[in-house]
Structure 1
Amino acid sequence: ELWQMSRPLTGSAGPATPTVAPPGVVVRPFVVGQDEQAWLEVNARAFADHPEQGRLTLRDVEARQAEPWFRAEDLLLAEQDGRLVASAWMKVEPGAEDGELYALGVDPAAQGSGLGRHLTALVLAHLRDRGLARATLYVEAGNAAAVSTYTRAGFERSRVDVQYG
């Protein structure tokens, strides 16, 4: 099952409660022409079991950079002691009222530190500050850690797609 989860960004729901970054973590925007290789390496480790996301290539990243929705500031990179350990990529189609948490990946060596929760809160604040009404994301129902993180951030299941094997 692939779940779409969503939550409002306005009104009483608002963004998730701000969190504190784990010790030594600095979050900054992606820099085109500089961060691609490091991002690909962390993304591959974070999504090692995912048949698509974990196998992205430089060509795939460059294709996404050419999309009308791409903005470097919508791809947040988390570095710990100068080394990339996680990222949160947002996708906002031109003219849309919703923003998507397109991909959030944490290096397995940094998982369990609260980094996913911290990046999720930053994404919600970023999308709200862009004036968007709702945040959405897609997650595999069996990814218990991700579903738990997103549920704590106020996301609720809004659609289910089922694929039979």
Structure 2
Amino acid sequence: SAGMAVVRELWQMRLDLARRPTAPDRPLPPGVTVRAFVPGQDEEAWRRVNSRAFAHHPEQGRMTSADLRAREAEPWFDPAGFLLAERDGVLLGSVWTKVHPAGEHGDEPVGEIYVVGVDPDAQGLGLGGALTDLGLTHLTVTGLRSAILYTEAANEVAIRTYRRAGFVRSGVDVMFGDDTPRSPSGATMAP
């Protein structure tokens, strides 16, 4: 009613882990292995791939070493739920999970697929879906009954991957703003 345009739409998606499709986890591409993140060893390789995977994203793609260390210091951080996919020692992608305590998203603890990132050079191999499945398996094995994630409404590839895993949209945050084109400095530009 104020004449403002939608500038960003963020979906929350939710999955009842007990109703998760019973098919086995999607296979990893040939030659790809998965291991847990090792604090003090894997930060820079992960940041490099994360920056490439999220080059277009206003927050995730600009994560600094200090930002990553701050997350590692959070009480929810668990390297066992931060899985790295490699081929011949080269990081191709990752899935990072977290657990929210009871009360944050309901009466019980809730798992989250916090970040799934695949290096652009490794996209198209099915790695995003395989990593999502491995993250969900990790959350299920820890005894959680539900999982959430957040994704941009415009990210159709991610939404297809998450729906295939059984997620459904459970909430939407919408950011409205002036849709006047702006220069990188923030100055209004003529159309």
TM-score computed with the length of structure 1 as normaliser: 0.95
Which among 92, 110, 131 is matched to residue 99 of structure 2? 92
Which stretch of the first structure deviates more once superposed, 30-39 or 74-83?
74-83
**Pair 1:87–1:13, CA change in 2 (3 A):** closer
Partner of 1:145: 157
Residue 97 of structure 1 and its aligned partner are, at CA, apart by: 1.9
RMSD: 1.3
Residue 17 of structure 1 and its aligned partner are, at CA, apart by: 3.3
Aligned residue type for 1:129: V
Do the aligned partners of 1:15 and 1:124 also contact (CA within 8 Å) in 2?
Answer: no
User: Where has structure 1 moved over 3 Å in runs of 4 or more?
Assistant: 12-17
Aligned residue type for 1:6: R
Partner of 2:118: 106
Partner Cα separation in structure 1 for residue 31 and residue 153 of structure 2: 32
Q: Sequence identity of aligned pairs in percent?
A: 57
Residue 151 of structure 1 and its aligned partner are, at CA, apart by: 0.6
**Pair 1:54–1:153, CA change in 2 (3 A):** same
Which among 12, 25, 39 is matched to residue 32 of structure 1? 39
Give unmatched runs, 5+ long, in structure 2.
Answer: 1-8, 103-107, 178-191
Residue aligned with 1:38, SS: helix
Partner Cα separation in structure 1 for residue 27 and residue 117 of structure 2: 18
Do the aligned partners of 1:69 and 1:92 also contact (CA within 8 Å) in 2?
Answer: yes
Do the aligned partners of 1:7 and 1:156 also contact (CA within 8 Å) in 2?
Answer: yes
Residue 74 of structure 1 and its aligned partner are, at CA, apart by: 1.1
Residue 14 of structure 1 and its aligned partner are, at CA, apart by: 5.5
Partner Cα separation in structure 1 for residue 109 and residue 22 of structure 2: 15
Residue 82 of structure 1 and its aligned partner are, at CA, apart by: 1.3
Partner Cα separation in structure 1 for residue 138 and residue 20 of structure 2: 15
Do the aligned partners of 2:15 and 2:146 also contact (CA within 8 Å) in 1?
Answer: yes
Which among 154, 159, 163 is matched to residue 171 of structure 2? 159
For these two proteins, the number of residue pairs brought into alignment is 164
Provide, for residues 106-156 of structure 1, a one-character-per-residue CA deviation record: whole Å limited to 9, x for no partner.
Answer: 000111110001001111111000000101000000001100000111000
Residue aligned with 2:75, SS: coil
Do the aligned partners of 2:97 and 2:112 also contact (CA within 8 Å) in 1?
Answer: yes
Partner of 1:119: 131
**Between Structure 1 and Structure 2, whose CA radius of gyration is higher?**
2
Which among 3, 6, 27 is matched to residue 14 of structure 2? 6
Provide, for residues 15-65 of structure 1, a one-character-per-residue CA deviation record: whole Å limited to 9, x for no partner.
Answer: 663111001110100000000000000000000000100000110011001
Partner of 2:144: 132
TM-score computed with the length of structure 2 as normaliser: 0.82
Provide, for residues 62-93 of structure 1, a one-character-per-residue CA deviation record: whole Å limited to 9, x for no partner.
Answer: 10011000011111000012100101011113
